[in-house]
Structure 1
Amino acid sequence: MVPVRLTGPRLAIREYHHTPEEVDALYALYSDPEVTRYLPFEPRDRETCADQIELYLEEAMAEERDTYRLAVVRREGAEDPADALPIAHASLTLGKYRSAHLGYVLSRGVWGRGYAGEIAGLLCELAFGPLGLHRLAARVDVDNKPSAKVLTRLGFQLEGRVRHDLYKGGVWSDSYLYSLLVDEWPGPSAPFASS
């Protein structure tokens, strides 16, 4: 495994550690109904979160890695980001033809600080840099306007509306599909989007 370590102005993105503290951090994220409102699953219990981190580490060890599910930590106040507790989750899921789906989830306590744009920007750097991808896609619930704003500020283009894309809690919801191509990415020197 070649561990992922990305560093932005305020955040770092790294592999998860299977420790009780990191399980608690993921549980705090995924047990919040407001945080999971636009995710494809209901709030999770602590045991499920522990299992998730185990899965993330197994995926990281795959000979041909196609899934990157990563911890996002604040750099401020941490001597070493490897020791800081996650405040968000970031993901890249590789597909065919040098493409991937991008995703991020932030703890409610850090909403509105521009962290989503920094996370998405760092994931773009990973995708279009070391991973050599050509296309990134992201699906956003039609009611999740802050996330759509983050993507458009980074240059993602709206491709269209995916009808009845998610069935959760007995209700169907639609998503917008956004994409960004490598030649549309302004590069790592571009400022991170603020939300």
Structure 2
Amino acid sequence: MTYQSTRLRLVEISLDDQDDIHHLHSFPEVDEFNTLGIPRNIDETKEYLTPLIQAQKVTPRKSYFWKIELLETFAFIGIAGMTLSLDRFKRGEIYYKLLPNCWGKGYATELGKLLIGVGFNEFSLHRIEAGVATDNIKSIRVLEKMGMRREGLHRKILPIRGEWKDNYHYAIVEDDLNGN
């Protein structure tokens, strides 16, 4: 299951990607708003990835996890995922992380629009959601550029380095694309 945009390609992860994903999670700036924490070693990264890879075989499938590559060079630049609700709710939640040297180049917005397109067109979702720490100004801007709307605040929901942090809740529904 591969998807692409103008500059990016989403490819399902495998254990072959563990070194790249470990490297991504090792940056303090990537970890700033991450609930995982920086992995102590590659085995911790493998432990994190194993259930995500096993989820590829579950039917009906509710979880997708991709590496993000530059379309031109196939260079790894980050990860993205989508978790689906029960079928009757037609809802998905997206998330992503990029290497810091890829920030500020429009990749996150392009990626988000790709994920939204996949959600609505491939998975027939009605609603796509994302959460973001209230202090994560860069990601808030990206979610809004994607066309998502802030719908609320989840107080003290994110466990980050021993503290409970607040989280904004964003969403886009298929009607938003039609201007309704």
Q: Name the TM-score, length of structure 1 as normaliser.
A: 0.85
d(CA) in 1 for partners of 2:76 and 2:46? Answer: 14
**Structure 1: distance between partners of 2:110 and 2:48:** 24
Amino acid at match of 1:32: F
Farther-moved stretch of structure 1 (51-60 vs 101-110): 51-60
Which residue of the other structure, out of 130, 149, 152, is the alignment partner of 2:122?
130
Give the aligned length. 175
Partner of 1:91: 81
SS in 1 for 2:58: coil
Q: Name the counterpart of 1:28.
A: 23
CA RMSD of aligned residues (A): 1.4
Structure with bigger helix share is 2
* 2:44 pairs with 1:48: yes
How far 1:63 sits from its partner (Å)?
1.7
Aligned to 1:70: 66
SS at match of 2:141: helix
- Percent identity over paired residues: 27
The 10-residue stretch of structure 1 (173-182 or 46-55) with the greater mean CA deviation from structure 2: 46-55
Deviates further, 57-66 or 124-133: 57-66
Identify the residue that residue 151 of structure 1 maps to in structure 2. Answer: 143
Gaps of at least 5 residues in structure 2 are none
Which of 56, 59, 62 is matched with 1:60 structurally?
56
Question: CA deviation digits over 1:19-40, x for unaligned, max 9?
Answer: 2xx2110011112221021111
Matched, 1:8 2:5: yes
CA separation of 1:30 and 1:6: change in aligned 2, threshold 3 A: same
Q: CA deviation at 1:167?
A: 2.3
Gapped runs of 5+ residues in structure 1?
A: 78-83, 187-195
Please state which structure has a larger fraction of its residues in strand. Answer: 2
Distance in 2, Cα, partners of 1:60 & 1:154: 27
Contact 2:30/2:99 (<8 A) preserved:
yes
| Shift in Å, 1:48 | 1.9
The question of whether the paired residues in 2 share the 8 Å contact of 1:25 and 1:85 is answered with no
